[in-house]
Amino acid sequence: MKTTTDLQRRKLLKYTAIGIAGAVTYPSWTQAAGEFVRVNKPSTDFLPDVEIELAMNTAEVAILKGEKTRVWKITGKVIKGDSGVLDNNEGTYLAPTLRFKKGQKVRLILSNSLPAQSILHWHGLHVPANMDGNPMYAINRGEAFVYEFEILNRAGTYFYHAHTHGVTARQVYSGLAGLLIVSDDQEQALHLPSGDHDVPLVIQDRSFDGQNQLVYSANMMQRMQGFLGDQILVNGRPDFVLPVATRAYRLRLVNGSNSRIYKLAWNDGTPMTVIGVDGGLLEKPEQHAYVMMAPGQRRELWVDFSKLEIGTELTLRSLQFDIDTHSGMGMMGRRGGMMGHGMMGHGHGMMGGMMSASSLTLGSDYPILKIRVSQKEQGDNTLPKTLTPITELHTKNAANTGNPKTIALSMAHMSALLNGRSYKMDDIQPDEIIPVNSLQLIEFDNGFDGGRHGMMMDMPHPMHLHGEQFQIVKREVSSHVTDNYASVSSGLIDSGWQDTVLVMPGEKVTILKPFNDFKGLFMYHCHNLEHEDMGMMRDFLIK
């Protein structure tokens, strides 16, 4: 089925492999906003409440001591609206933090001064297909793309990032990702901690060379596993310390890493109070000993520091866990023949252990950030018992009740596939066509049915769907799931609205997802960005 136009096909032909920031030194390039060739036009009947220019360029920022690091930086400028809608996060590679209100109409004019094609996607937002940053809309250096959409989402912590064909991982790694925070009246009425007491924390891992430059390697092993950096950065900074006052805070955690999965917990054993997930606040707060966070996911915490003495330090850590949760016959499984446990040494499995190029092993125990109580402050420290109501989706209302759309996740030598298929533009298959305004029952099968053979690898896959947020109906585990599963299971938070769900080896996760309002192409893919770039991505055609 052909879905792209000639214009889009022309773009397809222009895709080229591009290195990361600094791989080649390009002269920095400045161009006045008006000089960019706009590939699409603002519509005359769209009256924006907020208008922002976002410029993508190369830049140098001080991340480590000594030499500056070459990055790809997005810088914004408010053309219309309150200047508070934008914080450029100057001095870091993070893209601007954008703050919108539900119901606002926004126009974002993205210009490209990078030595590569790129396009931005609004992760978690319900926007029209042609505003969603599908890779077919990538713009060249010297071009600009005009986004126009209304904020239809409820309050929540969303984000945006590059979504360029085949190079999403390197572009995000180079800096093309930022936060997009939505507020609404319902949320405001709760009087949760706000202002300085509402802190977004973007967690990422990076590797640097001896000259403080970002290192990104994507050899076959690093693509199969996903790239893992040696160093944790929070909001683009190493050894992150958050000074806090003696009162309650709202912490918005974002896993902006390419592939790293975290198991977050407070070092003193205080349970984590989760108030929000990908698609905003939960119905009521939940307590968890630890919180799993896969790439692309957001988790909001409420934390009360009012009982702590000045000078107290608290560490947010990632605790030990095992991703090797399946003992099927796959090569990563315990009984996987020559690749089996015998060779692994200790319990980390091959993906977390010997094959890892990072000194910071996936699933090992390490600190993420430190909190330092540094000031007395009186505040309202009561956590509301109920947050925002959530309309529960029901399986009986799905268009395909009793006949879920199954998406089989598989990884084998050199390939990462969805239902045995790899990403291709312009390649919609009959089972990928979904009627607009329908509710769909979808299941992600990561070796649940035990149908693994020979060269299959068991890996966790954070599955993300563009468009509207979904609800998780159930999580089933195969009879081949090992004891390792218990090292992650109670941190998987499945309530509320979600856009990215971690599917562990041996699991089948069923979701209900609405496909309302907008026709066109909406992607679904693994948010391990190396897997995505390897082809673990497809489009749904909503019509």
Which residue in 457, 503, 514, 507 sits closest to 480, CA to CA? 507
Residue 33 in contact with residue 176, Cβ under 8 Å? no
Site string for ligand C2O, 430-469 (x = CB under 6 A): ----------------------------------x-x---
Q: Under the criterion CB under 6 A, does residue 121 sit at the interface with ligand C2O?
A: yes
Q: Tell me the longest C-alpha to C-alpha distance in the chain.
A: 66
525 binds, among Cu ion, ligand C2O, none (CB under 5 to 8 A by kind): ligand C2O
Q: Which is nearer to ligand C2O, 247 or 466 (CB)?
A: 466
Q: Under the criterion CB under 6 A, does residue 123 sit at the interface with ligand C2O?
A: yes
528 binds, among ligand C2O, Cu ion, none (CB under 5 to 8 A by kind): Cu ion
461 binds, among ligand C2O, Cu ion, none (CB under 5 to 8 A by kind): Cu ion
Q: Under the criterion CB under 6 A, does residue 165 sit at the interface with ligand C2O?
A: no
Measured from the CB of residue 250, what is the shortest distance to ligand C2O in angstroms? Answer: 22
431: helix, strand or coil: helix
Distance CA 29, CA 171 (A): 18
206 binds, among ligand C2O, Cu ion, none (CB under 5 to 8 A by kind): none
Amino acid, res. 481:
V
DSSP letter at 208 equals B
* Contact residues for Cu ion, defined by CB under 5 A: 123, 461, 466, 526, 528, 531
Q: Which is nearer to ligand C2O, 248 or 536 (CB)?
A: 536
- Token pair belonging to 15: 């895709």
Instruction: Provide the CB-side half-sphere exposure for 412 (13 A, CA).
Output: 15
161 binds, among ligand C2O, Cu ion, none (CB under 5 to 8 A by kind): ligand C2O
The length of the chain, given as a count of residues: 543
Q: Under the criterion CB under 6 A, does residue 102 sit at the interface with ligand C2O?
A: no
User: Which range in 271-279, 340-348, 403-411, 522-530 contacts ligand C2O by CB under 6 A?
Assistant: 522-530
**Separation in Å, CA 78 to CA 49, 86, 406, 409, 464:** 11, 7, 44, 42, 30
Q: Which is nearer to Cu ion, 70 or 452 (CB)?
A: 452
Distance CA 159, CA 278 (A): 10
Measured from the CB of residue 500, what is the shortest distance to Cu ion in angstroms? Answer: 8
**Separation in Å, CA 155 to CA 183, 376, 387, 477, 487:** 4, 30, 12, 32, 31
60: helix, strand or coil: strand
118 binds, among Cu ion, ligand C2O, none (CB under 5 to 8 A by kind): none
Instruction: Provide the CB-side half-sphere exposure for 205 (13 A, CA).
Output: 25
Q: Which is nearer to ligand C2O, 121 or 141 (CB)?
A: 121
DSSP letter at 100 equals E
Distance CA 485, CA 490 (A): 9
Q: Which is nearer to Cu ion, 272 or 536 (CB)?
A: 536
Total residues in contact with ligand C2O, by rule CB under 6 A = 10
Amino acid, res. 145:
F
Measured from the CB of residue 381, what is the shortest distance to ligand C2O in angstroms? Answer: 34
Measured from the CB of residue 295, what is the shortest distance to ligand C2O in angstroms? Answer: 8
**Please, what is the end-to-end C-alpha distance for the chain in angstroms?**
13
Subset of residues 276 to 305 that bind ligand C2O, contact rule: CB under 6 A: 296
The residues, any chain, with a CB within 8 Å of residue 189's CB and separated by 6 or more, are none
Q: Which is nearer to ligand C2O, 464 or 538 (CB)?
A: 464
Q: Under the criterion CB under 6 A, does residue 176 sit at the interface with ligand C2O?
A: no
Q: Which is nearer to Cu ion, 263 or 466 (CB)?
A: 466
Amino acid, res. 314:
L
- Token pair belonging to 156: 């929540």
The single residue among 161, 298, 405, 538 that binds ligand C2O, judged by CB under 6 A, is: 161
The residues, any chain, with a CB within 8 Å of residue 81's CB and separated by 6 or more, are 48, 49, 50, 51, 52
Measured from the CB of residue 16, what is the shortest distance to ligand C2O in angstroms? Answer: 21
Q: Under the criterion CB under 6 A, does residue 523 sit at the interface with ligand C2O?
A: yes
Binding site for ligand C2O (CB under 6 A): 121, 123, 161, 163, 296, 464, 466, 523, 525, 527
